[in-house]
Structure 1
Amino acid sequence: MVYKALTIAGSDSGGGAGIQADLKTFHQLHVFGMSAITAVTAQNTLGVQGVYPLPLEAIEKQMDSVAVDLPPDAVKTGMLFNEEIIELVARKIKQYGWVRVVVDPVMIAKGGAPLLKEEAIEAFKRHMLPLAYVLTPNIPEAEVLTNMRIETLEDRKEAAKKLHDMGVRHVVMKGGHGEGNELVDILYDGEQFYEWKSKRIDTKHTHGTGCTFAAAITAQLAKGKTIYEAVDVAKRFIHAAVEQTLQIGSGHGPTNHWAFHESEKCSHH
């Protein structure tokens, strides 16, 4: 049985984030990856030098081509950039009845470049949140979506509840932007909270961590795993990817997409 996952996102010429990160992650988790590119970015570890959204027709055709011949078992959305793209992608997801949809609310690049236009945020809330089987915001993204300041773990839980009320089935609040040496990621399923704690890795090489983490969840959901199992594997995947850094580029370097298998091999011997 071959499981398939589709990523609908921007292309990162530097290979660390976006569809490149997604496809590498799917592949490492033994899921066949497909893509619908929403925008082409010129970027590297130093930042984003240009963003070129694709024509709506091109995005729609890519989604149609995949849907009719290679129906995905799970779908991930990343950079959607503007209101028109958001509305189109939401409409197509509904048209094809895709349910296991992981929505990564990509808003700002590591270097600070905006990847979602200001006026598109309302459209994102209205169209994408109700389609999200899983939403994977970091703290700044959750603040924008809920209009609240998030400082404590309690604030994070409050924000997760708000997002659930906005139509999201499962909220995974990432702790990477929190304070302290311990990272806490939380999952809220509308009834209870689950927590994952890990040691913060002291590194600047975290380009693409959000994309990679969400893609790992998508891959596991494509295989029919539960949301808890999916987040659990994704958490281990991203930890290995950040810990065993590749040391390339002169800015925020990418994570290591093959580290997970190396580390799992070691732990099995």
Structure 2
Amino acid sequence: MTKHGARRTGLPFVLWIPGVVALALVVLPVVGLIVRSDLGNLPNLITSPGAVHALDLSLRTAVVATVLCLVLGGPLAVLLARSTMPGLRVVRALVLLPLVLPPVVGGLALLYLFGRAGFGGKLLYEAFGLRLSFSTTAVVLAQTFVAMPFLVVGLEGALRTAGERYEAVAATLGAGPWTVFRRVTVPLVLPAIGSGLVLCFARAMGEFGATITFAGSLEGVTRTLPLEVYTLAETDVDSAVAVSLLLVVVSIVVIVVARPRAVEGRL
């Protein structure tokens, strides 16, 4: 009996077999990395200049990309959930496109838009003298491109689940649209915003395909931690494994420390 007096429902045994297999599929590859790593030399490998620079670049660009996802993707999610403009299904499909596109294809799309030969890149260079491709800014754009749908999808779903009744009540009491959005809508979906930002940051930290295609792999400029792993894997396997473990640790810390309680079902 639970503390509320309700009897806990048992789980079918048949669920345990695929559940354990799924858990093993996630955990065992990480165990394989640990077994393969040179634990005695691990501190020296993960504190090498290349690894430190790549980690610093990954953290900085992932933070900026996450902020962009919030500033741009947050309003987009509200429009998708609350707007009645025609063509919303098409817009929603386009927003989800980065989730299903191979990252390399996304990187090529960005390159042919903002690269030197792309029409967007030409306009920026002629108007402001800016070249985005193969720069740190390109890393941020690539990360934002692949990460933003995670925030938009989660936030739109939360807004639809919450409904519009509280906003309607606030409007009938005389609150304007901006006041309703700021004082009612945003507080209502704060847990969803938090969980979406965590997913965006984690996705940005692990981004590889779009980044290497659009930004290249220039040490100290565009070589993030995943690109550092790829580079080291061709020349120094021990260092590649060590940096991979560093990326795993950073990802776990981000999820465990920053993950909102609401995601874990403990509202």
Q: TM-score, normalised by structure 1?
A: 0.24
Higher helix content, 1 or 2: 2
Q: TM-score, normalised by structure 2?
A: 0.24
Higher strand content, 1 or 2: 1
Question: Taking CA–CA contacts closer than 8 Å with sequence separation of 6 or more, which of the two structures ends up with the larger relative contact order?
Answer: 2
When Rg is computed on C-alpha atoms for both structures, the one with the higher figure is 2
